[in-house]
Structure 1
């Protein structure tokens, strides 16, 4: 922001210096319209018209970009709310699973059988 202000001040000072150094009279004729004035004024008006035309031509793109940005921000906010809801739902389901899972105390059907392995089975058969 400060850089824009400083560059604007420098541009204004340059325009004043330009106007003071270019005070020769010129005549501008467009079709039936005639204007006689300072060269500096004619050039500054031409510069201003060029800036205005450039701003008008670029404004649809700027407006479209603002609309897209606004739409994407709304979409991100909606998705963040959805993620928060899904996390909450996930936590509820994990708690429900923990509540419904059989506890280790009630599931005592006997000693747990260990995996013996194929080699040990063949070794025991030969040893028997």
Structure 2
């Protein structure tokens, strides 16, 4: 995670430096649509769109990981409750055994 964050920050910094040094106007054509903008604006827009596309592509994996984590937490909670019940049953049975050992007549086998 840290490595990808560092790489992203370096790319953003390089893009900003590029944008600052390249303020010339360029013509962008998309089919029949044309517009004129600074090279810096086009570079920043492209960087932003790439970031958004990367986020959209990784979103299903992020959501799946969150769901798995939630299910695992729920399973852990259920298992801890079952363990508590079992430990309570064991404690109850030990008390019962102790009671029976104290109160049963000696010599009965």
Taking structure 2 as the reference length, the TM-score comes to: 0.78
1:39 and 2:39 are equivalent in the alignment: yes
1:33-72 maps to which residues of 2 (within 5 A)? Answer: 33-72=33-72
1:77-92 maps to which residues of 2 (within 5 A)? Answer: 77-92=77-92
Tell me how far apart the structure 2 counterparts of residues 9 and 61 of structure 1 sit (CA, whole Å): 22
List runs of 5+ in structure 2 lacking aligned partners: 1-6
Tell me how far apart the structure 2 counterparts of residues 65 and 10 of structure 1 sit (CA, whole Å): 27
Q: Which residue of 1 aligns with 2:100?
A: 100
Tell me how far apart the structure 2 counterparts of residues 84 and 50 of structure 1 sit (CA, whole Å): 51
List runs of 5+ in structure 1 lacking aligned partners: 1-6, 109-128
Shift of 1:57: 1.1
Bigger relative contact order (CA 8 A; separation at least 6): 2
Tell me how far apart the structure 1 counterparts of residues 36 and 44 of structure 2 sit (CA, whole Å): 14
Tell me how far apart the structure 2 counterparts of residues 104 and 82 of structure 1 sit (CA, whole Å): 32
* Residues 68 and 9 of structure 1: CA distance in aligned 2, closer, same or farther (over 3 Å): closer
Which protein has the larger Cα radius of gyration, Structure 1 or Structure 2? Answer: 1
Taking structure 1 as the reference length, the TM-score comes to: 0.67
